[in-house]
Structure 1
Amino acid sequence: MQINQVIETYDQGAVDYDAIMKRYWHIEREPLIASLLAEARTNRTRCCGRNRS
């Protein structure tokens, strides 16, 4: 019974992953990643009061 639940959970995760990839695969990743990194650095500066590179 427990192994069946693991398999079902894995299968649902694969379906969810596939749906996400189909939705977002066309996005240019370099600008997106750069913007996320810039936002993370900004948030870290605000949080910690200093800028770390």
Structure 2
Amino acid sequence: SRNKLRLLIIDGYLSYITRNIISLYIDNNINLSSYIIFLLLLYTLTTRYKGI
């Protein structure tokens, strides 16, 4: 269905962003607390989208 396709696109996009953030974190050694906050934000986004 269209909802499944939308979920696949969203999940792929979020994982793409996450990979970029992780590589940025490794390269620049970003503050760990801000990274954890970002992960929490990602988690809330994905759980919210599961309800579509």
Normalising by structure 1, we get a TM-score of 0.46
Structure whose residues are more often helix by fraction: 2
Taking CA–CA contacts closer than 8 Å with sequence separation of 6 or more, which of the two structures ends up with the larger relative contact order? Answer: 2
Question: How high is the TM-score relative to the length of structure 2?
Answer: 0.47
